[in-house]
Structure 1
Amino acid sequence: MDIKIRIERTEDYRKTEEVVRSAFEPEVFSDEKEHLLVNRIRKTEAFVPELSLVAENNKQEIIGHILLSKVKIINEKKAVDSLALAPVSIISEYQNIGIGSLLIKAALSAAKELGYQSVIVLGHQDYYPKFGFQPASNWGIKAPFEVPDEVFMAIELTEDSLADVSGFVHYSEAFS
C-alpha cells in the first residue's frame, strides 16, 4: 500500500474533521467530539500548522490525521514548552495496518526538526511505548486531571530535555 504523509492544508480541514469524527465514532471511551477539538485547536495559538499531518492513500484521499499542539509544563519555578499529541485518527477500513505508526513517527520527526524538545500523550499504555513514550511521572510531570499513571506519557525528542522538568501540563483553552 502506498501511503503519503503530508502537512494538512486549509482546504483539507472539512475532510480531515470527517476522518477524525468517523475514526472515533466506534470507540467506547470517545465523547465523539474529537473532530471539534481539532477545529478548536486550529483557532488557538497552540496550533502549529506544520504539525498537523494527514495520510493519503494512492487515490489522494485523506485516510488519517495527527495533530501535535503546544502545551506548557508548569511548576512553581518555571514553565517549559512542550507539545501534546492529540488526536491521531485513522478511518476504520485503514486501521491496524501501520498508518497510525507512520503518522506518529512523521509528527515526532517534524516536531524535532522544528526544535521542540518533548511530547505528551494521553493514550493506550501498550501502544505509545513502542515509539519511546514513558510514563510522564518518570519526570515528575502530571496531568491537570485524574488519570491512571500508565496512560499519561511523555517522550524526549532531544536527550535529557526533560531532565530538569516537572510540574503540571497546561493544555490550550481548546481542550476545555
Structure 2
Amino acid sequence: MTWTTRPETPADVAAVHALNAAAFPTPEEAGLVDALRADPGAWIDGLSYVACDAEGRPVGYALLTRCHVGETPALCLAPCAVRPDRQREGAGSAAIRAVLAAAAARGEKHVVVLGHASYYPRFGFTRASAHGIRLSIDVPDESLMALSLDPAVPLPSGTVRYASPFGI
C-alpha cells in the first residue's frame, strides 16, 4: 500500500488524539501528544506527521519533539502509532520515514528513540550506549537508540533530557 504522508494540520488534532488512544492500552500517549503540543519548548511545527489512507484519514502517526543529549539539541521520536485495524501495513513506517526526512531537511542533526530494538534499526537507529548516550532512568540497553540525520555529524554523548511532559 502507498501511504500519503504529510505534516499534521489543526484539523487533524482530534484524529491524532483518537489514533493514539486506540493504538495504546492506556490513554497516556494520547495525553502526552496533547501536552507536548502545548509545550513551546518541545513542540516543533512541521514535525508531527500523519500517514493517511486513500480517503485522507490519518491512520499512522510519528512525532519528533525537542530534547537534548547532554547540552546538544536533538529530537525525540515518540510516540509512533498506527490505528489497530491498519497495523502491519506500513503506515507507521511511512510516517516515521517522512518525519525523519522533514527533520533532516530542516537541518536537525540527531534523533533518539526509546522503543523496540527489532523495529527502529530499519530506519538507521543504532544502540545509543555505543555512542555514550544514556538515560537518567533504567531501561534495557537495546531499547534506547540514536540516529544521526547528517552522516558528517557524529552523535553527541551524554544523558538525554526529554521535554517535561515525558516525566523523565
Taking structure 2 as the reference length, the TM-score comes to: 0.94
Which string of whole-angstrom CA distances, capped at 9 and with x for unpartnered residues, describes residues 11-51 of structure 1?
211111000110113xxxxx541000000001112101211
* CA distance in 1 between partners of 2:68 and 2:18 (Å): 29
Gaps of 5+ in 1: 26-30
1:110 aligns with 2:102: yes
* CA distance in 1 between partners of 2:144 and 2:118 (Å): 12
Deviation at 1:160, TM superposition (A): 4.4
2:147 equivalent in structure 1: 155
* CA distance in 2 between partners of 1:10 and 1:3 (Å): 20
1:13 equivalent in structure 2: 13
* RMSD over equivalenced CA pairs, Å: 1.2
One-letter amino acid matched to 2:74: S
Deviation at 1:2, TM superposition (A): 4.1
* CA distance in 1 between partners of 2:130 and 2:137 (Å): 17
Matched position secondary structure for 2:66: strand
2:66 equivalent in structure 1: 70
Matched position secondary structure for 1:85: strand
1:88 aligns with 2:80: yes
1:141 equivalent in structure 2: 133
Matched position secondary structure for 1:106: helix
Matched position secondary structure for 1:145: coil
* CA distance in 1 between partners of 2:101 and 2:56 (Å): 22
One-letter amino acid matched to 1:64: G
One-letter amino acid matched to 2:161: H
* CA distance in 2 between partners of 1:69 and 1:156 (Å): 15
Matched position secondary structure for 1:158: coil
Q: 1:20, 1:64 within 8 Å by CA — same for their partners in 2?
A: no
Which string of whole-angstrom CA distances, capped at 9 and with x for unpartnered residues, describes residues 64-107 of structure 1?
11100000111xxxx10100000011001110111111111111
Matched position secondary structure for 1:71: strand
Which string of whole-angstrom CA distances, capped at 9 and with x for unpartnered residues, describes residues 121-161 of structure 1?
00101111111101111110101211011000001101142
Q: 1:55, 1:63 within 8 Å by CA — same for their partners in 2?
A: yes
1:169 aligns with 2:164: no
Deviation at 1:174, TM superposition (A): 1.2
Deviation at 1:60, TM superposition (A): 1.3
1:55 aligns with 2:46: no
Taking structure 1 as the reference length, the TM-score comes to: 0.90
Deviation at 1:162, TM superposition (A): 2.9
Percent identical across equivalent pairs? 36
Instruction: Please list every run of at least 4 consecutive aligned residues from structure 1 whose deviation after the TM superposition is greater than 4 angstroms.
Output: none
Q: 2:61, 2:96 within 8 Å by CA — same for their partners in 1?
A: no
